[in-house]
Structure 1
Amino acid sequence: MTLAAFSQPPVRSASVCHSESDRTATSSDVLGRTVDTTRVSSTAFDGTPHAPAHARRFVRQVLGEWRLDHLAEDAVLLTSELVTNAVVHAGTGIELTCRLDVDADPAKLEIEVDDHHPARTLPEAGPVPGSTRTSGRGLALAGMLADAWGVTYTRTAKRVWVRLELADGYDAPEPAGAAPIETLHVGVIVADRDGLVQSWNAEAETLLGWRADQAIGRRLEKLVAWRGHGPYTMSLADTLCLGRWRGEAHMRHRDGGVVPVYVSHLRDRVRRCSVWLVVALDHGHVLAPPPRREAGRRIKDLLGQDLPFAELLDTIARIVQISCGGDAAYVLLAADGGDAFGVAAGAGATPGLVGVLAPGIFGRDRTAPAIVADLPAVDAELARRLRARSLACAPLLAGGEPAGYVVVTATSPDRFDEELVASLQHIAAQVAVPVQRERLAERDRAHRGRLSFLAEAGELLAGVHDEEVIAALAAQLVVPKIATWAAVYLTDLTGMTRLAHVWHSEERHNAELRKALPAVPRTPLDEVSWPVGPETVVSFPLVTQGRSHGALVIGRVEPTLPLELADLLSDLCRLVSLNLHTAMLYARQATTSRVLQRSLLPLRVAPMPGLESAVVYEPAEEGADVGGDFYDLFTVADHWCFALGDVCGSGPEAAAVTGLARHAVRLLAKEHYTVADIFDRLNHALLEEGEEGRFLSLLCGELTPLPQGGALCTIASAGHPPPLLLRPDGKVEAMATPQLLLGIESGARFYVETFELAPEEVLLCVTDGVTERRDGERLLDDGDGLAVLLSGCTGLSAHAVAERVRHAVETFADEPSQDDVALLVIKAAAVLRPVMT
C-alpha cells in the first residue's frame, strides 16, 4: 500500500459524539506532490459511564476506515482503559483523538484522551505489592500493551496518550490467480434504514444483471442470498446495523443464479443509510483489509510472560472487563469430575466468591459464544450470584470442548451486542491454549501441594480426640496460608451450633473477630449473613455420614477463590469432619467406659476406726480408670475385710474379670463366708466362665480388733505376692504362703493363715506391678528390694508409706511402667475401737 492510500477523504464518525473533527497533515514528496502523511480523527464525550462504550465504537470505526483492523483489539482495549480512568478520576468532559503517522519510522498510531481536571493525577502504574485492589492497574496494563505511553499536563487539561507502532509491509498483495483488473466492477448500493434500495450504480447492474429501475425500491434482503458470515451467524438485519463490516456473501443475479461476492458495508448514521461496495469474489482483495498482523499479538505477548497462574487469570479477566466495558468480568474453569464451571478469577465490580456455577448457560456442550440480554429471566439464581442483569460469554475451546469461559456481566439489561461478542470470542481464542496449558501445569503443582498440605493436616489431627483442639488446629491450618482469618463452628448432638474457635493472621484481632461473629447463629450456617468487612467471607460445611458437625468460615482479601483452593478446603473439611466424628464417638465411648470402669472400683474406702489405710491404684493403659488389678476395703459385722487382686492380662477383658472378682469377694464376705470359702467359690466361678488363660491372683484377709490393741489378721494368698509386715523396730516379714492361682484347677483347696497386727505395725499388700517393676534386666524386688524399701519407712503414716513405695516404683526406670500398679497399706493404732454396726 502506498502513502497515497491514506489520503482518501475520511468518512465522518458516528453521531454519538457532541463534536468531531478529522484533520490531515500534509508534506511534499521528492516530486513536489502533496501527500498525506498524518491522519487525525477526534471526538468528544460527556464524562458519563457511557463514555467508554462510545469511545470503543469510535476507535473501532476509525481504525476500520484507516484499514488498521489488525490494531483494533489492542487499541480498543487501551482506549477503554484510558477513558474509564478519565471518567473515574476526572469526571469532566473528554476529548478522544486518534492520530496516524505513516511517515514516521516506524509508522505509529497514537491515541490521546484529554480531560479538563489537570489537578487530578493518575494512579500509580501498577499495583502496590501485596495489594489486591483493581483500581490503578490499567496503566500497568497499558505499559505492557503499548509501545509507549505518557501524560502531558497543561493549565486547563491533562492528556494521557499511548502509542502503537505499525509493522512494515501493509501493501495488500494481489492474490495469486486473481481475476484480471479489466474485469473488475465495483457495485455501489445504498439502502435506507428500512433496507429499501435507494441507489444502484451501473457497475452493480453489470455485476448482478439488475437495472437501476428494477433494483431501486426493492428490499435489499430480496437481492441478497444471506447465509451468515463468520462463526457468529448474524442476520442480515443485524449486519446492516453494524457501523462497518467486510466479508463474503452471495447475491441474486437477474437470471436467477447466485453470484459469490465480497462486500464492504458502511453504516452512515448521519444519513441513516447503509452503503455497500460489492465486487466479484475473485476481486475480493480490492475491498479486503490489508494482510493483518496476527490478531491479539500484544495480548499474546502479555500472556506469554512467565506469570503465576493466578496472576495470568486475573490479567485475562481484567482485559475482558476493559475491552468489553462490562461492570464485571470472570474467567471460569471446568471443575474436576463434573460438567460445572467455577469462578477462577474476576475483575471489576465482582461480588466476591461465587463458587461453582451449575450447568445451564455454561455447559460442556456449548462451543459458541452467547449473549443473555435479561439474565434474571433465563437463570434467576445465576443472576443473583453474579448480581448481573445481562451477560456475554465465549468458551475457551481446547480440543473442541470448552475448558472454561470468559464472561462479562453488567447490572443493566441488554448491555451487549454481537460486535462485542466478536471481540470477546477473539480474546477467548487467543488465551484458550495458554490457559489450558498453565491450568494443567498448575493442576499438577496444586495436586502435589494438596497432598503435602493434607498429609500435614492429617498428621496434626491424627490421634486428637478433643473437639476443641480439632477446631483450633483446623483454623490455624488455613491461616495465613489460605485465609486472613478463620472461624470454626461446632454442632453438638442436640443440633445446637456454637462458635468454637477463631484465629486471625494478626493475633491482636482475635478478640475483635470473636465479637464480630455470631456466637450462637440463629439460622442455619449456610444462611448466616456474615459481617461485611474488607474480606470476602465464605463458609464450608463440616459434614460426614449425613451429619453436620458445623462449618469452617474463612475471610479472604482476594475477591475470588481459585478452584484448586476451593477443592483443597473441601478436602480439608472432609478430613476435619471425619476427625470430629471420631472424636464424638471416642468421647461417647470414653464416657460409657469411664462410667462402667468406675463401677468396678469402690466408691470410697470404708473408714476403719483404729486403723489407718492408704491405697495407690494406677492402671497401665492410657486413659483407663480400671485395669487388671483391683482392690477393696470394707466392713462386715465386727471386722474389716480387704482384698487385692491381679487378673492375667489387661484391657477391657481383664477389667471384666476384675469386676466379677471384686463383686464376688464383697458379696460372699457379706454372706459371712470364710476367706477359704470365698477362694473356693470364686475359683469355680472363673472356671465356669470358660475363657482359657484368664487366671486370677488374689490376696484376701479379715481384720478383727483385739482388746489390747491391734488386730487379728486372717489371710490367704492365691498365687499373689505375699504381704509384708513392718515391725516398729524396722524388721520386715512376709506373712502369707502363696497357693494355687484361681481359675486353674476345679479341685483346688485353699487354706488361711493367721497373725497379729500389733499397734504401730504396718501391713503392705502389693500386686506384681510393684515387685516386677523392670529396669532392663533388673527387677525392683531383686534381693528383697521391696522389703529393704519398706524397712526404711518406720514411724511413717500409712499414706507416707504408700507414697514412698509409689515414688520408688515410678523412678525405678526411665520408661513408664507397662503393668498395672496397686498397693494397699494398713497401719494399726494403739487401741482399736469396736466396729459400729
Structure 2
Amino acid sequence: MTARTPALTPAPALLTAVFEAASEAMVLCARAGDLVVLANEAARRLLPDARPGRPVAAPLPADGSDSFQAEHEGRRLYGMRRPVDDDHYAWYLRDRTESAALEVERSRTAFLAEAGRRLAASLHVRRCVRTTVELAAAHLADAAMVVLPPHRRQSDWTRLLPGRPVEEGTLREATLGEVPGLTEALGGFPPIPSRWLDPAQAPAWLVPAGFGPVGALLVIPLPGNAEPAGALILARCGERAGFTAADEALARVFAARAGAAVAAAVLYREQVDTTAVLQADLLPPELPQPDGFELAGSYQAAGDALRIGGDFYDVFTPAGAATDTMIALGDVCGTGPEAAVLTGKVRQTLRALRLVRTEPAAMLTVLNEALLQSARTPRFVTMVVGSVRRTDHGRVRLELASGGHPAPLLLRGDGRVEEVPTSGTLIGVLPRTVVRPATVELAPGELCLLYSDGLTEARGGPTGTEQFGEDRLHQTLAECRGMPGAATVDRIRQVVADWVRGGGSDDIAMLAVRAPARTPLSLRGGGAPTPSPYVVAARRGDRRPRSRP
C-alpha cells in the first residue's frame, strides 16, 4: 500500500481565502476587457464598485498606467499595478488620507513657525508689514495686502503681487469702504467668511491689471493691543479659486501673529519717539558763548543706550536786569531714567530761581526745600551753582556755591591747580542746608573746571579696578595750561577714557569756564581778529574742536 501524495496545486477556495485575508487592498483584474476578477475586503472598503465581472472604473486607470494618485470619495488613494501572469494583473491600493493630512498639518506648522521667527526678528513697523505680505503671498494666496489703521485721514498700505516687488503707498480714509469687509476689519470686527465677499466688488486699485480675475477675496483683521493693528487682504486669481475652511483658519492664526508683531513694533516706535522727546529736554544744552569768557562742556552717561543719567550741567544766560551768566553742574543720586527725571526737576527749579535773580547760595537753599517737599523716595543731589561775569579789568569773576559736591578746580596761568574753597551739605537730605560760597577771579588764560565725581571714581588702570583719583585729575589739568576750554575738556575726557579702557564707569559731566588769553590779534585789513579753531568750534555748538593746533 503506497502513501498518498498531497496536491501541489491549491484549490480556488484556498486562494480566495488567502486573498481575502490580506491586509493590503488588492484588486485582481483580467487583461482581456480589463475586468475585475476579484477584490478583497480591504479593496472593497476603498472601492465599493470594484466587484467581479465589472470593468475597471475610476479611480483605477484603464490606460495601462503602472501607478496612480487620486482623490476618491474624500479619500486620497495611491495604487501600484503589478503583473500576475500572462492573462492577469493586480492593483495594490493604499489609503494615504491620514498621511496626506499629516503632511498638510506639518506644512502649516512649519509655515507658522517660520512666520513667528521672521516676524519676531524686527521691531521696525515697515519691516514687519513687508514680512507679513511676503509670507502671506507665498503661503496663503496669490496676492496679499496690509492696510494700517487711518492716521490723519490716511492709511498706509503695503502690497505684494505675483512677479512684482513689494509696493507701498497711502489711501484716503474715504476709499477704504470700497473693499468689501475692510472697514469692518479695521474696526476690529470678526473676519467675514470669504464666501460672503463678492470679488467682483473689489476696486481696481486693489489688484491692478495683469493680476487676472479675482476668484476669491478674504479680509482679516490684524489683532493688536486693545485695537486692531491693521487688516490683511488676501486674493486668489481665477474664476474657480476659493478659500477652504482650513485655509481661512490658517489665515486667522497667521493674522493673529502678524498683528501682534506689528502692534509691538508700533508700540516700540511710540516709546522711541517719546524717549527722544524726553532726551532732547534732559540732555545737556548747547552752550552759549557769552562775550568775555569761554564755556566748554562734556557729558557721558553711564548707560550709552539711554544717553541720559544723573549727572548734568546747565548754563542760564542773563535774564531781566541780571548781568551775570549762571552755571550749574550736579550729580543726582543713582543712574538711569529715575535719576534723569530728578535731574530734569532740578534744572527746571534752577531756571525758575534764575528768573527771580536768586544768588547761588540762596538757590541751593530753596532747591533743598523743594526736593524735601516733592521727593517720594529719599534721593539727594550734590551740585555747584555759580554766577560768572567779566570785570572791568579783563578778568572773569565767579561766585560759586557748593552743596556736597567736589570743589571746582582752578588752573592758574603758571600751571598751578587749586581747589575753590567752597563747601556745603547735601541737597535734599537735611531740613536745613549749610552753604559756604566762595568768590574767585580768573586772570587771562586761566580756567575753572566743574566736574562730577564720576570722573575721579572712574576705575581702570593696570589692575582695572584702580580709581582715576584727584591727583591724576590735577596732573592732567595742569598739563592743559594755555589750552582753550574746549581742548582742555576734550583732553581730560580722552585721558579718562584711556584709563578706563572701555570698561564701565559712572556718569561723567564737566563744565569749564575760561578767561580769554591776551594774545596778539591777527587783523585783516583792520577787521575783526581771526579766532582759533577751538573758538570757532565752540561758537558752532560743537562738543569737540574740529582741528588741533
Q: CA deviation at 1:552?
A: 4.9
Gaps of 5+ in 2: 1-30, 36-48, 71-75, 183-201, 519-549
Aligned to 1:614: 296
Q: Secondary structure at the match of 2:223?
A: strand
Q: CA deviation at 1:577?
A: 1.8
Q: Secondary structure at the match of 1:544?
A: coil
Distance in 2 separating the partners of 1:126 and 1:481: 27
Q: CA deviation at 1:582?
A: 3.1
Distance in 2 separating the partners of 1:460 and 1:560: 32
**What does the per-residue CA deviation read over 1:280-300, in whole Å, with 9 as the maximum and x for residues that have no partner?**
xxxxxxxxxxxxxxxxxx5x7
Aligned to 2:223: 543
Q: CA deviation at 1:760?
A: 1.1
1:436 aligns with 2:113: no
Q: CA deviation at 1:708?
A: 2.1
In structure 2, do the counterparts of structure 1 residues 754 and 458 end up closer, same or farther at CA, with 3 Å as the change threshold? same
**What does the per-residue CA deviation read over 1:716-750, in whole Å, with 9 as the maximum and x for residues that have no partner?**
22122322222344433332444321111112311
Aligned to 1:530: 207
In structure 2, do the counterparts of structure 1 residues 481 and 817 end up closer, same or farther at CA, with 3 Å as the change threshold? farther
Aligned to 1:658: 343
Aligned to 1:677: 362
Gaps of 5+ in 1: 1-36, 42-62, 83-109, 112-124, 128-133, 135-140, 149-162, 168-297, 305-433, 832-837
Q: 2:114 aligns with which of 453, 461, 465?
A: 453
**What does the per-residue CA deviation read over 1:484-534, in whole Å, with 9 as the maximum and x for residues that have no partner?**
886654335345222357698xxxx6xx5346x766484456455424548
Q: Secondary structure at the match of 1:491?
A: coil
Distance in 1 separating the partners of 2:465 and 2:268: 38
Aligned to 1:717: 402
Distance in 1 separating the partners of 2:504 and 2:34: 95
What does residue range 21-60 of structure 1 map to in structure 2 within 5 Å?
none
Distance in 2 separating the partners of 1:546 and 1:783: 55
> Which residue identity is paired with 1:547?
E
Paired residues of 2:452 and 2:509 also in contact (CA < 8 A) = yes
Aligned to 1:800: 487
Aligned to 2:465: 778
In structure 2, do the counterparts of structure 1 residues 766 and 567 end up closer, same or farther at CA, with 3 Å as the change threshold? farther
Task: Name which one, 1 or 2, has greater alpha-carbon Rg.
Answer: 1
In structure 2, do the counterparts of structure 1 residues 589 and 448 end up closer, same or farther at CA, with 3 Å as the change threshold? closer
Paired residues of 1:74 and 1:145 also in contact (CA < 8 A) = no
Moved more, 517-526 or 777-786: 517-526
Aligned to 1:629: 311
Aligned to 1:763: 448
Distance in 2 separating the partners of 1:816 and 1:485: 52
Larger RCO of the pair (alpha carbons < 8 Å, separation 6+) = 2
What does residue range 736-751 of structure 1 map to in structure 2 within 5 Å?
736-751=421-436
Aligned to 2:56: 71
Aligned to 2:477: 790
In structure 2, do the counterparts of structure 1 residues 730 and 568 end up closer, same or farther at CA, with 3 Å as the change threshold? farther
Aligned to 1:575: 257
Aligned to 1:513: 165
Paired residues of 1:710 and 1:830 also in contact (CA < 8 A) = no
Q: Secondary structure at the match of 1:681?
A: helix
> Which residue identity is paired with 1:530?
V
Distance in 2 separating the partners of 1:811 and 1:560: 68
In structure 2, do the counterparts of structure 1 residues 656 and 732 end up closer, same or farther at CA, with 3 Å as the change threshold? same
In structure 2, do the counterparts of structure 1 residues 618 and 484 end up closer, same or farther at CA, with 3 Å as the change threshold? farther
In structure 2, do the counterparts of structure 1 residues 569 and 661 end up closer, same or farther at CA, with 3 Å as the change threshold? same
1:820 aligns with 2:472: no
Aligned to 1:378: none
In structure 2, do the counterparts of structure 1 residues 514 and 738 end up closer, same or farther at CA, with 3 Å as the change threshold? same
> Normalised by the size of structure 2, how large is the TM-score?
0.64
Distance in 2 separating the partners of 1:454 and 1:143: 32
> Which residue identity is paired with 1:634?
F
Moved more, 550-559 or 818-827: 550-559
Q: CA deviation at 1:806?
A: 3.5
Distance in 1 separating the partners of 2:255 and 2:77: 42
In structure 2, do the counterparts of structure 1 residues 741 and 476 end up closer, same or farther at CA, with 3 Å as the change threshold? farther
Paired residues of 1:646 and 1:698 also in contact (CA < 8 A) = yes
> Which residue identity is paired with 2:114?
F
Distance in 2 separating the partners of 1:667 and 1:38: 109
**What does the per-residue CA deviation read over 1:585-627, in whole Å, with 9 as the maximum and x for residues that have no partner?**
3433444454355445676534310211122234444664643
Aligned to 2:385: 700
> Which residue identity is paired with 2:257?
L
Paired residues of 1:628 and 1:651 also in contact (CA < 8 A) = yes
Q: CA deviation at 1:639?
A: 1.7
Distance in 2 separating the partners of 1:38 and 1:164: 7
CA RMSD of aligned residues (A): 4.6
Moved more, 706-715 or 662-671: 662-671
Distance in 2 separating the partners of 1:479 and 1:438: 23
> Which residue identity is paired with 1:629?
D
Among all aligned residue pairs of Structure 1 and Structure 2, give the percentage whose two residues are the same amino acid.
26
Paired residues of 2:133 and 2:158 also in contact (CA < 8 A) = no
Q: CA deviation at 1:715?
A: 1.0
Q: 2:412 aligns with which of 727, 747, 771?
A: 727
Distance in 2 separating the partners of 1:669 and 1:569: 62
Aligned to 1:417: none
1:646 aligns with 2:308: no
Paired residues of 1:475 and 1:503 also in contact (CA < 8 A) = no
**What does the per-residue CA deviation read over 1:760-788, in whole Å, with 9 as the maximum and x for residues that have no partner?**
12222222333333347535523623333
> Which residue identity is paired with 2:455?
V
Count of residue correspondences:
431
In structure 2, do the counterparts of structure 1 residues 818 and 554 end up closer, same or farther at CA, with 3 Å as the change threshold? farther
Distance in 1 separating the partners of 2:137 and 2:348: 54
Distance in 2 separating the partners of 1:818 and 1:729: 32
Paired residues of 1:648 and 1:693 also in contact (CA < 8 A) = no
Q: CA deviation at 1:546?
A: 6.1
Distance in 1 separating the partners of 2:117 and 2:384: 51
1:496 aligns with 2:481: no
In structure 2, do the counterparts of structure 1 residues 702 and 164 end up closer, same or farther at CA, with 3 Å as the change threshold? farther
**What does the per-residue CA deviation read over 1:559-596, in whole Å, with 9 as the maximum and x for residues that have no partner?**
78887776555444323322332333343344445435
> Which residue identity is paired with 2:485?
A
> Normalised by the size of structure 1, how large is the TM-score?
0.44
